[in-house]
Amino acid sequence: MGEGDAKAAVKFTSDTDAVLDLIGGAYNTDPAVYVFHPLETFKDTDNYYRIRDMWPIRNVQKNKTYSTLEAAITEVANGQTLEVRRNFETTAAVMVTKSFTFDTKGYTVTRTEATGLMTACSKFTDRAI
Confidence category of residue 125, pLDDT binned at 50, 70, 90:
very low
> What would the pLDDT profile of 38-64 be if each residue is shown by its tens digit?
677 888 888 988 887 778 899 999 989
CA dist 55 and 64 (Å) reads 10
- Is residue 69 located within the same domain as residue 110? yes
Closest CA to 81 of 95, 66, 67, 99: 99
Confidence category of residue 127, pLDDT binned at 50, 70, 90:
very low
- Is residue 112 located within the same domain as residue 72? yes
Cβ-Cβ contacts under 8 Å for 77 (sequence gap 6 or more): 61, 98, 100
Beta strands at 88-90 and 64-66: parallel, antiparallel or unpaired: unpaired
pLDDT at 16 over 90: no
The answer, as to whether pTM is greater than 0.85, is: no
pLDDT at 89 over 90: no
- Is residue 43 located within the same domain as residue 93? no
**Alpha-helical regions (H) of the chain:** 69-75
Cross-sheet strand order for the sheet of 123-125: 64-66, 57-59, 81-84, 101-103, 123-125
Full residue range of the structural domain in which residue 30 is found: 7-53
- Is residue 21 located within the same domain as residue 48? yes
Is 17 a domain residue? Answer: yes
Burial 32-53 (b: 16+ CB within 10 A, else e): eebbeeebebeeeeeebbebbe
Count: domains in the chain: 2
- Is residue 68 located within the same domain as residue 13? no
CA dist 15 and 85 (Å) reads 33
